[in-house]
A and B are shown apart, each in its own frame.
Chain A
Amino acid sequence: MILQVKDLITRFYSVDGVVYALNGVNFALNAGETLAVVGESGSGKSVTMMSLLGLIPQPPGKIEGGQAFLFENDKPQDLLKLSERQVRRVRGGQIGFIFQDPISSLNPTMTIGKQIAESMIEHLSLSQSDARKRTVDLLKEVGIADADRRFDSYPHEFSGGMRQRVMIAIAVACQPRIVIADEPTTALDVTVQAQIIELIQRLQKQLGIAVIWITHDLAVVASMADRVLVMYGGTVVEDALVEDLFDNPQHPYTIGLLKAIPGATGLGEERLESIEGSPPDLLRELTSCPFAPRCQFVFDQCWAKLPPLISVTKHHRAACFYDVENEIPRKEVEHG
C-alpha cells in the first residue's frame, strides 16, 4: 500500500449554500496497480484527487476532515497536513498528474521542452543541459517524432493527442510513484484514445508506477484497470477488482450503471435499462444513502444513516445495506 485515504470530507462554501462535495471518501492504493475511479459528473472523483494534491482553491473550498497517508519506506506522511512548500515537493515529484484538457494545463507562452525540463530542474536538481537531454529522451519515449527539434515547439503547434503525450511526459518526468490521470482520453477520438491508453500502460510497466485513472467510461475501465472504485454523491459506493465488479456488482448503482451501457452483456440488441431520476443534489448534507431516492431496493435502514463500506469478499466492498443477490439485508461488518 502506498496511499491510504480515510474519511476525506471536502466542502465548498458557495453563494448558493454549502456544496457537500465529498462525504467521507475511503480507499487505498497499492504499488504498481491501476485503480480506476468511475462516477458521473458531481460524484466527487476529481475533487478527491485535487484534495490530495492541495489543488482545492481555499476559499471557497475547505477540507474539513480525514487523512491521506502517502507511505514512503513504510513511513506514513499525511498529505493533508503538509505545508504549501511540502505539498509542492510531492506534487510533480512523487505524484504526477495528467489532466483531461491538455491545452489549458500547458503554458501557451512556454516551449514544451522547457515545461518538461522545469519540473526536473525543480524536483531532481538537474542542470539545464542534463534536463534538456533527459527531456529529449522522454519526448522520444512518449512517441513524439523529431524530439530534438520539437523541444522548442509551443503547445499550439501540437495536435490534441500530441499535447496529451507531452502532459504524460511531464507527469512521469520525475519518476513518480503515483500518476493521477483525470479523464486523460475523454477529449480525444477513439483511435487516439487507444494510442494514449497503450502509452500509459507501457510507461506504467516500465517505470513501476501506480496509476489512478479517473473516468466515466466503463468500457475504458474494463480495458485497463486492476481495481475499480465506483463513486456516487461524494462517497465510494463500491470497491472491487475489475472482474468482480463486472461479473458480480453489489451496489444497486453499479448494477444499474452496467445495465445502462450497451455492449456489457452481448450484442446490444436488448433494451437498455436506465436508472430513473437524477444525480443527487450536493447542496444538501448527506445523512442517508445518496442513492436511496433512485434505488429500487430501498428500505427503511437506507434513510436512517449513510451506509459504510461493507465487505462482501476479501477484495470487494460495497456501501449498501441490502444484499441484492440474496435479497436480504446485509450484515454490517465494517472493514478497516
Chain B
Amino acid sequence: MADNNVLVRVKNLKKFFPIKQGVIFNRQTIQVKAVNDVSFEIKQGETLSLVGESGCGKSTTGRAVLQLHKPTSGQVLYEDQDLTTLSEGELRALRPKIQMIFQDSIASLNPRHSVRKIIGEPLVIHNVGTAKTIHNRVVELMELVGLNPKWMKRFPHEFSGGQRQRINIARALALNPSFVVCDEPISALDVSIQAQVVNLLKDLQQQLGLTYLFIAHDLSMVQYLSDRVAVMYLGKVMELADKRTLFSDPLHPYTQSLMSAVPLPQPKLERKRKRIILQGEVPSPSNAPSGCVFHTRCPLAIDRCTTDVPEYRQIHLGHSVACHLVDDQQSSIIPTRLNSK
C-alpha cells in the first residue's frame, strides 16, 4: 500500500563500520553498528526529528539516507525510487532534490571562495542557467535567507556563525530541493542566534514546501520545530511518535529519562521536579549490549531484556516503541512505574 503523502521511506537501514586491526594481516575484528535496522517514513512537507545522545547514530542515519555513507543494507525510497540501488550518475541527477545542511558552518564552507561562488556553485555544477541568471539567483537566495546581497563578494570568515549558517542554508536551497537533511544546524550557535535560524528554517519550510529530516540533541528546540520525533539509542530507534504524544506521554523508559534529564527554563517548576537520573553513560557501539541495547542503564530492566531484542512495533496509530515492558493493551503502565521511583 503506497501512501502518496510519504516522500521518504527508510526500511531496515543498516550502516556498519568495520574496524581493522593489525598491520600485516589487517583483519577485520569488530563492526561498529552505527545504524542497526532503522525504519521510518517522512511525509511530504513535515519535519521528522532524530534525537539522541552522541554516538546514537543519528548523524550516520542522516548521511546514509542521502547516500553520503553507502548503507550496509536496507532501502531508502525517495518518491518510490530506491536510492541505495542508484548509480553515481543517477544519484547526482537526483541530488538537486535532496540536500543537506551541516552542523559546522565554517568547516562546510570553502574559505577561499566568495559567498557568491559558494551559493552559486550548485547551479554551476548542475548547469542551470547563464552567468547572469546565476547571479540573479544568488541575489534572490541571499535575500531569501536574510543576507544582504551586497555581501556576496565577501568570504566566509567575514561572517558571524549565524550568518554562515544562513549561507549554508542558501546553498542547500539553490537548486529548489524538496527534501533537506539538517544535521544539528543550530547547536554551534548562541541562543539568540539559534532562534533566528530556527525561525528562518520554519519560514522557508512554509514558503517552499520543504520536507526536513532534522537531527538534533536539543530536545527543547526539537519540540518547537518538529511534527514527529524519533528517539535513537545505540543505532536503533527506541520510540517514534508525533511531537505532542512523545512529549506528553513517552512510553519508552529511555525517552522518559531523556525528557526528565532536560532542564526546563522555569525555576519554580525545576525546584519541584523529580528527575530520573540514568546511571552510567552510553556503551560503546562497537560492543553494544545483547538483547535490548538500553538494558544496561534501564531502571526497569527485567531478565528478558538482557537476552531478547524487543520488537519495534506500533502501539497506537503513529506511535511505535521498542520495549518489552510496554504492554500493547495497557500502554500507560510504564510511565506510572518509572515516575513513582
Query: Which residues of A are in contact with B by a Cβ distance under 8 Å?
Result: 40-41, 159-162, 189-195, 197-198, 216-225, 242-243, 246, 256-264, 267-269, 271-276, 278-279
Measured between beta carbons, the chain B residues less than 8 angstroms from A257 are 191-192
- B257 within 8 Å of A (CB atoms): yes
Are B277 and A264 in touch, CB under 8 angstroms?
Answer: no
Closest to A220 in B: B263
Closest to A279 in B: B190
- B19 within 8 Å of A (CB atoms): no
Are A263 and B54 in touch, CB under 8 angstroms?
Answer: no
Residue from the list B162, B195, B264, B278 in contact with A223, Cβ < 8 A? B264
The smallest beta-carbon distance between B184 and chain A, in angstroms, is: 13
Are B220 and A268 in touch, CB under 8 angstroms?
Answer: yes
Chain A binder among B90-98, B267-275, B315-323: B267-275
Given A243-B268, A262-B223, A263-B265, A192 and B192 touching (CB < 8 A)? no
Given A192-B281, A272-B199, A246 and B266 touching (CB < 8 A)? yes
Measured between beta carbons, the chain B residues less than 8 angstroms from A262 are 220-221, 223-224
The smallest beta-carbon distance between A230 and chain B, in angstroms, is: 11
Are A195 and B277 in touch, CB under 8 angstroms?
Answer: yes
Closest to B278 in A: A191
Given A191-B257, A268-B223, A260 and B263 touching (CB < 8 A)? no
Are B264 and A263 in touch, CB under 8 angstroms?
Answer: yes
Are B190 and A223 in touch, CB under 8 angstroms?
Answer: no
Contact with A along B219-240 (1 / 0, CB 8 A): 1110110000000000000000
The smallest beta-carbon distance between A173 and chain B, in angstroms, is: 24
8 A–B pairs (Cβ distance < 8 Å), ordered by A: A40-B192, A189-B217, A190-B258, A191-B261, A261-B265, A263-B224, A263-B264, A274-B196
Measured between beta carbons, the chain B residues less than 8 angstroms from A275 are 192, 195-196
Query: Which residues of B are in contact with A by a Cβ distance under 8 Å?
Result: 53-54, 160, 162-163, 190-196, 198-199, 202, 217, 219-221, 223-224, 257-258, 260-268, 270, 275, 277-279, 281-282
Given A189-B54, A219-B220, A262-B224, A40 and B190 touching (CB < 8 A)? yes
Residue from the list B219, B224, B261, B266 in contact with A222, Cβ < 8 A? B266
Residue from the list B190, B223, B268, B281 in contact with A189, Cβ < 8 A? B281
Measured between beta carbons, the chain B residues less than 8 angstroms from A273 are 195
Are A40 and B264 in touch, CB under 8 angstroms?
Answer: no
Measured between beta carbons, the chain A residues less than 8 angstroms from B217 are 189-190
Residue from the list A189, A190, A216 in contact with B191, Cβ < 8 A? A216
Measured between beta carbons, the chain A residues less than 8 angstroms from B260 are 194
The smallest beta-carbon distance between A239 and chain B, in angstroms, is: 16
The CA of A61 and the CA of B273, in the complex, are separated in Å by 43
Closest to B283 in A: A159
Given A262-B223, A272-B198, A274-B199, A190 and B270 touching (CB < 8 A)? no
Measured between beta carbons, the chain A residues less than 8 angstroms from B270 are 222-224
Are B275 and A194 in touch, CB under 8 angstroms?
Answer: yes
Are A274 and B195 in touch, CB under 8 angstroms?
Answer: yes
Residue from the list A190, A224, A276 in contact with B261, Cβ < 8 A? A190
Measured between beta carbons, the chain B residues less than 8 angstroms from A216 are 190-191
Residue from the list A41, A264, A278 in contact with B265, Cβ < 8 A? A264
Most buried by B among A216, A222, A258, A267: A222
Given A189-B217, A191-B257, A268-B223, A260 and B195 touching (CB < 8 A)? yes
Are B258 and A40 in touch, CB under 8 angstroms?
Answer: no
The CA of A115 and the CA of B82, in the complex, are separated in Å by 55
The CA of A261 and the CA of B190, in the complex, are separated in Å by 11
Closest to B53 in A: A189
Given A190-B258, A223-B264, A261 and B277 touching (CB < 8 A)? no
Are A198 and B192 in touch, CB under 8 angstroms?
Answer: no
